[in-house]
Amino acid sequence: MFLLDVRNLSVDYMTDDGTALHAVDDVSFTLEKGRSLGMVGESGCGKTTAMLGVLRLLPAEGRIVRGDVLFEGTDLFALSENEMRAYRWKHLSLVFQGAMNALNPVRRVGDQIAEAIRLHESGINIKARVRDLLQLVGITPDMARQYPHQYSGGMRQRAMIAMALACSPEVLIADEPTTALDVMVQAQILELLQNLQREFGLSIVLVTHDLGVVAEICDDVLVMYGGKVAEYGTVDVIYNDPQHPYTQRLLQAFPDVDNPAITLTSIAGYPPPLDALPPGCRFEPRCTCASEVCATKSPRLIQIAPGHFVACHKLRSTPYGA
Amino acid sequence: MEHKPGSENIVLQVNHLHKLFPISRGIVGSLARRPKRFVHAVDGVSFCMAKGEILGLVGESGSGKSTAALTILGLLEPTEGEVLFNNQSVPELVHSRQRLQLRRQMQIIFQDPYEALNPRQTVFDTIAEPLEVHRLAASQADKAERVMVALGTAGLKPPETFLERYPQELSGGQRQRLVIAAALVLNPQLLVADEPVSMLDVSIRADILNLLRQLRDEHGITILYITHDLATAAHFTDRLAVMYLGRIVEIGPTATVLHDPQHPYTQALLSVIPVPNPRKRRKRVILKGETPNPIDLPSGCRFHPRCPVVFDQCRHVEPTLASVSPGHQVACLRS
């Protein structure tokens, strides 16, 4: 049994005039204990929406139209709101995008972490727990008494991670945790996440547009495009044997400091807007190897090798086929 | 790549540039006659740029790279040191009648193409305005012609389909192209690009950088590329200057700096850049803490509190840039 098993998740956003925009369409992935999954894609490809859907934290316009999310076999979508609240923080925790700017500026950082503990745990020494958590993320416990403005950006991000770990969750979902941080501070935060993974068997879902970060710390990669899964596999396969044209082009657009002589090439065009998704493959308008069928029929996600899934018409499933 | 000052080829020369910002002491502080304190944003920067060169000025936030750029452009008054553009002092030109001409020859592209454009101006007006300010168009027809050429060069094709559009109808990449077109229409010699792609999606960054390089190749424009992103700088620049706390700690041809970094800060910075290849996960040299504030600078070498190979002398002696190989200079007591 997987720790987290997301099956065929689809999320719509309802507009004022009642149309449904398909933000996430048929996304499936699994996560095992102590492993890390990178969700990559351009802005607007549905990465964040998918994770908010998993946690049932969608904004009011969001609707889960299909799919199951199983956490250790328990169907999260079958839980009542109160039961779900008990799962969040204790089992699945989220560091929001831009979270470091979400700390309350007029309350001490330690008090804000304490509040999270108080709401979810009982019968523990909260003060000691706050000190432990701060230490865990590399902040001197004495700094619990300071206010967010006295923290640097990197420290605020550490404090947010401490808060997310308040109730010792098994899964940490981090949405762009290092975007807007300097590269050295980014390295510090990534090292922290890796240590947490190694020492406590924490499972991590890293939502990011940064292919470099994913290559550094993730075990598996889910490439999303236009709300759908384009390719899914281990980090080695995705980077060294990508099969989906989008994955290939994305890697060609990404700078590699080790190979500065390579000319980078952008992907012409733009990701499809949600209110005008192409009828066939969502990548078809930008794909250089599209054929007729791509414009009319959406490709199914097929398994082309054990654990390697691709949604592209030019590939046929192998004997492992799903 | 050693450039001799005064040579015909030199477009920009920066000598011992300092830019300090005073910190308000408050009423109590002034009455108590507490000493004035300063943010040492740029603290002794020297370099020069040859015509048609792309120099990357790389550093983390707070390293002073943007302040250096604004001072070079004459948008900030230097506290000390000189900036020579075609052998003429920029701070003096700014106060002279040649100011407009200087502005025409030096252009800047900012990070955020969403903020840099007037939402109520059409694409045509956005590009025509600089022409009007600088009285460069001989006639309406000439103006239209120049606008079209600038749009085409910036890759907004076909140009006529863009003229009447507003910035909000353009994608992020198209907006940045529009910003570039508005700078290009003046035929500048020097273009300062301050994080021109960091707000754009990864998939379209390469296009903008390739466009800038094309401007250099085809029009000989000199480009100062300011960024925190060593990876894009690696692909796009001829030379790299690495800044730390207001000073250049290493400068040299890009390939040399990348393959043979000499300063411990450059080495650490290079080691932590995520590489998009899981088979090449490297030993990262992760520096502790963050860049200290530029108010109370560390004694000796300003990098010594975070340096992994610090030795006693570093605490007292401030290193200066010294050549380690042709065109490659490093400010470190160990080299």
Residue ranges of E strands in B24-145: 37-50, 54-58, 80-85, 88-89, 106-109
Residue ranges of E strands in B165-233: 190-194, 222-227
Instruction: Give the residue with greater pLDDT, B5 vs A116.
Output: A116
Which pLDDT score is estimated for A294? 94
Rounded distance between C-alpha atoms, residue B99 and residue A228, angstroms: 54
Chain A interface, mutation test: which of B174, B202, B303, most A Cβ atoms within 10 Å? B202
Which pLDDT score is estimated for B75? 94
Instruction: Determine, for residues A239 and B276 on separate chains, whether the beta-carbon distance falls below 8 Å.
Output: yes
- The 10 Å Cβ neighbour count of residue B252 is 25
Instruction: Determine, for residues A215 and B278 on separate chains, whether the beta-carbon distance falls below 8 Å.
Output: yes
Instruction: Determine, for residues B272 and A184 on separate chains, whether the beta-carbon distance falls below 8 Å.
Output: yes
pLDDT in tens, A300-309: 999 999 999 9
Which pLDDT score is estimated for B232? 93
Q: How far is A128 from chain B (nearest CA, A)?
A: 24
Q: Does pLDDT of B3 surpass 70?
A: no
CATH superfamily of B10-330: P-loop containing nucleotide triphosphate hydrolases (3.40.50.300)
Hey, where are the domains in chain B?
Answer: 10-330
Instruction: Give the residue with greater pLDDT, B282 vs A83.
Output: A83
Quote helix, strand, coil % in chain A, to nearest 5: 35, 25, 40
How many whole angstroms from its chain centre is CA B277?
Answer: 29
Model confidence band, residue A252 (pLDDT cutoffs 50, 70, 90):
very high
pLDDT in tens, B225-254: 999 999 999 999 999 999 999 999 999 999
Which pLDDT score is estimated for A66? 95
> Residues A165-184: what's their mean pLDDT?
91
- What average pLDDT does the structure give for chain B? 92
Which pLDDT score is estimated for B1? 43
> Residues B152-163: what's their mean pLDDT?
92
Q: What is the DSSP letter of A142?
A: G
Q: What is the complex's ipTM, to 2 decimals?
A: 0.85
Instruction: Determine, for residues A183 and B275 on separate chains, whether the beta-carbon distance falls below 8 Å.
Output: no
Rounded distance between C-alpha atoms, residue B34 and residue A10, angstroms: 63
With 0-12 / 13-18 / 19 or more C-beta atoms within 10 angstroms meaning exposed / middle / buried, residue A124 is exposed
> Residues A171-179: what's their mean pLDDT?
93
- The 10 Å Cβ neighbour count of residue A7 is 15
Q: Does pLDDT of A5 surpass 50?
A: yes
Q: What is the pTM of this model?
A: 0.89
pLDDT in tens, B86-113: 999 999 999 999 999 999 999 999 888 8
Q: How far is A226 from chain B (nearest CA, A)?
A: 14
Enter the tokens of residue B324: 């380690």
Residue type, A199: E
B contacts of A220 (beta carbons < 8 Å): none
Token pair 């393959």 is at which residue?
Answer: B259
Residue type, B172: G
Domains and CATH numbers, chain A: 4-91+169-310 (3.40.50.300), 99-168 (no CATH)
pLDDT in tens, B176-210: 999 999 999 999 999 999 999 988 888 889 999 99
Q: Does pLDDT of B285 surpass 80?
A: yes
Q: Does pLDDT of A21 surpass 60?
A: yes
